[in-house]
Amino acid sequence: MTTDNNLTFTLHTENEALDVMSSGLDGCVFTPADVHPDFYDFSNGIAGGIMQKFVNYNFPVAFVLPDDPGPRVVELARDHRNHPCVRFFDTHQAALEWLNNRD
């Protein structure tokens, strides 16, 4: 899930996003197993609050999309395809490549 295999995080609240950023990592990959299902229920605002924390602190994160993301998640991923801090990918490998090749 992270760029350091010795650390594990789950993501459900803005405070957990702050924990990730204070871990000493330079960036992070979240797989579907790492993200609480409520994250992709956009009616609750969880995703927006969490992503805004990462953007505010200029902390790069990559989310691996779930197998059946649904049209709103696909739209969110499309909207973030060129975002400097938050991106969505179909595979873990693609997410890692983006994190490792950022300027």
61-64/86-89 β-pairing: parallel
Do the Cβ atoms of 96 and 3 come closer than 8 Å? yes
Rounded percentage of the chain residues whose pLDDT exceeds 70: 91
28-30/61-64 β-pairing: parallel
Confidence bin at 1 (pLDDT 50/70/90): very low
pTM over 0.85: yes
101: Cα separation from own chain's centroid: 17
Q: Which domains does the chain have, with CATH numbers?
A: 14-100 (3.30.750)
Residue 3 pLDDT > 70, yes or no?
no
